[in-house]
Amino acid sequence: MATASRTIGLLGGMSWESSIEYERIINTVVRDHLGGTHSADLIVRSYDFAAVEALQEAGDWDGAGRLLAGDAAALVAAGAEAIALCTNTMHVVADAIETAIEVPFIHLADTTAAAVVVEDVDTVALLGTRYTMEHDFYRGRLESHGLSVLVPDEPDRTMIHDVIYDELVRGVVSPESKAAYLAAIDRLLARGAEGVIAGCTEIELLVTAEDLDAPYFPTARLHAEAIAAWAMDIG
């Protein structure tokens, strides 16, 4: 039977708390746009995050790239017409994934940058894992869109990273950590940030737009909405 949207391959489970938000948002957008009982046509590869985290901690990005690239190719072989990676940090291996497939790769940093530009924000704060905040794969991609990117100073950077891995990916959302995040954001705004990127999908479980007086860019939602739009071939 024909489907009303193009088939998307999702690489998820990093962590599953954020990946289920991806599926919920994508399916909701498709249903709202197409009506009736429509939902998205998805093929999902969900990982045991402990195995991925071990590769991160070991700095084995080549191994992680081979893993995700191989599975992206398998999703394409299963019928996926585009691939999306449901995590900010693992976009460090985006090039390996793109090399392994011959279908579009919907890059999370590009969808985020587009939303920032629409809001006429030039300087943006980036919160995420240590890998996302310190490495160039994500910041550089944002900067290629003409943005200036600020990351937290220490000890805020370590705190933000530790809350993600010690709490958020384990389903723990604490008021104390939320207060610490908001204080770190205030310091970034004082340094000149005009908006804030939640550059780890789990951060959206802790901080929402209603918590801030500055433009807020929740990357998982922005990415998921862009994926749904691509699936339905709408702008």
The question of whether 111 is a catalytic residue gets the answer: no
Work out the angle at residue 194's Cα, subtended by the Cα atoms of residues 120 and 202, and round it to the nearest 5 degrees.
100
Quick check: 27 and 227 in contact, CB under 8 A?
no
Active-site residue identified among 86, 112, 132, 200: 200
Catalytic position from the list 7, 86, 87, 129: 87
String of b and e for 48-87 (b: at least 16 CB within 10 Å)?
ebeebbebbeeeebeebbebbbebbbebbeeebbbbbbbb
Based on the residue annotation, tell me whether 86 is a catalytic residue of this protein.
no
State the virtual CA torsion across 124, 212, 87, 23 in degrees, nearest 10.
-140
- Token code pair at residue 235: 């702008």
Q: Which residues are catalytic?
A: 87, 200
